[in-house]
């Protein structure tokens, strides 16, 4: 009996000595690889070379000092002298006293009036404004323009877009495709920064594909729209992306969702987006009606997009449409010389 206990003790000691060390606690700095974890992770911040990151850090430090001066924590005259030559921040707003815009809705009045605030919405706004140019895009960034729209019909939905992308006044691509397939029956219309919207659609396409493999079912349009909304909202300070998510599913049929630059998600009877949308709002209000046929919806989408392309300098090229029903998707292409409306009819 004693020998048996002695052997058991030896085996226990050896086993304990060979046991692997306990796993460390998960680091908060590493995002969860599950779907809901990645949605909370901001994947669009911090990319670039070491010099680019250092330059961003320098700009951030300058902006922090500017904000501290506006709150009264740093002497403004000393800060102006420090950055008199080659300052990376806008020091023109460091005048004495509180900035008054005359508009009570503007947030820039909060800078000096709330000196004890750790970080007000106005602070975040000014940091965002210093990172982007007046049109909301970084210098040299490719913009999709654009004119995008989605019109539901009896049994499905039609999505439509022009094909022009530009960098400032230069047309970078005349025949780009702004209609991206997220799943078998769901499409996304892209507007804003071309790079941002391409990254977003790649993420959503991957997540929806993984979800379909896990569940054996196709995702609903609502699921895709709110997935896109969460990505845009969680990264709203780094992205310039306004999209339309539309498609067909067995639960809701044809449905249309628009996600704004700030991350709001709205289900609408029909949706338009991009710089050309302001020119066709009245046209669609007067001519759109529920339960149109597929051909009627596609014809109206082409007509509206052609009107926008005629009036909007950031829209042009060709018209692409996709009709989505329970039977599948049907793509259509209309060349620039076949538009239902154009300059020849205007002038």
By annotation, the residues acting in catalysis are 146
Residue 206 backbone zone (phi > 0: left; psi -120 to 50: alpha; other: beta):
alpha
Helices (H) and strands (E) in the chain, counts: 11, 12
Question: Residue 138 in contact with residue 150, Cβ under 8 Å?
Answer: no
Q: Which residues of 279-310 are buried (b: 16+ CB within 10 A; e: fewer)?
A: bbeeebeeebeeebebebbbbbbbbbbbbbbb
- Alpha-carbon torsion, ordered 297, 302, 304, 308, to 10 deg: 160
Q: Which DSSP state fits 310?
A: H
For 270, list phi and psi in degrees, rounded to 5.
Answer: -155, 165
Q: Report the C-alpha gap between 66 and 76 in whole angstroms.
A: 8
């Amino acid at each position: 009996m004693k020998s048996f206990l002695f052997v058991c003790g030896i085996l226990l000691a050896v086993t304990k000595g060979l046991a692997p060390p306990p796993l460390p606690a998960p680091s908060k700095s590493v995002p969860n690889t599950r779907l809901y974890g990645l949605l909370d992770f901001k994947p669009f911040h911090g990319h670039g070379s070491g010099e680019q990151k250092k330059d961003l850090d320098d700009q951030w430090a300058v902006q922090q000092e500017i904000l501290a001066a506006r709150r009264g924590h740093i002497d403004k005259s000393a800060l102006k002298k420090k950055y008199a030559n080659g300052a990376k921040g806008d020091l023109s707003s460091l005048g004495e006293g509180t900035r008054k815009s005359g508009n009570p809705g503007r947030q820039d009045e909060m800078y000096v009036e709330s000196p004890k605030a750790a970080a007000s919405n106005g602070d975040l706004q000014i940091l965002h404004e210093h990172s982007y140019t007046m049109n909301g895009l970084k210098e040299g960034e490719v913009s999709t323009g654009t004119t995008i729209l989605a019109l539901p019909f009896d049994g499905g939905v039609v999505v439509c877009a022009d094909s022009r992308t530009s960098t400032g006044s230069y047309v970078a691509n005349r025949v780009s495709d702004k209609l991206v397939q997220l799943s078998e029956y769901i499409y996304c219309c892209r507007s804003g920064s071309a790079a941002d919207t391409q990254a977003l659609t790649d993420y959503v396409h991957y997540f929806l594909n993984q979800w379909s493999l896990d569940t054996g079912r196709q995702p609903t349009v609502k699921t895709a729209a709110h997935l896109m909304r969460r990505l845009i909202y969680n990264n709203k300070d780094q992205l310039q992306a306004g999209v339309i998510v539309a498609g067909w599913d067995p639960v809701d049929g044809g449905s249309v969702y628009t996600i704004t630059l700030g991350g709001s998600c709205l289900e609408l009877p029909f949706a338009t987006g991009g710089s050309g949308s302001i020119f066709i709002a009245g046209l669609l209000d007067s001519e759109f009606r529920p339960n149109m046929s597929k051909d009627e919806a596609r014809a109206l989408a082409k007509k509206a997009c052609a009107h926008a392309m005629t009036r909007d300098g950031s829209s042009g090229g060709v018209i692409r449409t996709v009709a989505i029903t329970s039977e599948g998707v049907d793509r259509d292409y209309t060349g620039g010389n076949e538009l239902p409306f154009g300059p020849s009819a205007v002038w």
